[in-house]
Chains A and B, each alone.
Chain A
């Protein structure tokens, strides 16, 4: 059974701080890694994808992947109240590249 574990929340950070979200996965042959943001009552929207070891930056977001440790993280710099949402880590593996999702980390950015 493939598993994706996220750090338990909820997580609260003050506005302007760095929010750090973590995710570990069990399937060593996983190929692709995604972070989705989900606002309450809405569907997930993709914010970051990462496929190789190292860091990938996009604006205020940085995804970090370490395949040896089976670990992927998301850093949000200069956090804003609008970043308050649940962040879902998803890992792709298998011949059909199906996604396995973590249970999510709820982030609250305090003004």
Chain B
């Protein structure tokens, strides 16, 4: 089955702890994205990557870090600097292709992060 797999489904963070959310895709997509969704809100872009070994900050990158060492994988680390991490985190991917592409993004099932 082709798709985007996020794990874990639920995650709990202790004070001062860094946690890493996993995102893997087997769609052969070039571009990957991380969003945060707070209750009753839309999605806000944290980081995105258009190619391996390259990524850019989105609108709310502070307190987060990412890596893109493989095309299939785009893990997100929520650091202790993120003081309000409780949210629904969504990973997405798209075929990419630059400004001529239609850039349809497909989403994983999400990870719910809570603070203990």
**A residues near B, CB below 8 A?**
4, 31-32, 34, 42-46, 49, 51, 88, 90, 92, 95-104
Which of B31, B35, B106 is within 8 Å of A46, CB to CB? B106
Apart from A46-B105, A98-B33, A103-B41, list 6 A-B contacts with CB within 8 A: A4-B42, A90-B105, A98-B45, A99-B45, A100-B45, A101-B42
Distance between A11 CB and nearest chain B CB, rounded to angstroms:
14
A interface: dominant SS: strand
Which of B48, B90, B99 is within 8 Å of A43, CB to CB? B90
Contact present for A97 and B103 (CB under 8 Å): yes
Q: What chain B residues lie within 8 Å of A101 (beta carbons)?
A: 35, 42-44
Distance between B60 CB and nearest chain A CB, rounded to angstroms:
12
Q: What chain A residues lie within 8 Å of B110 (beta carbons)?
A: 42-43
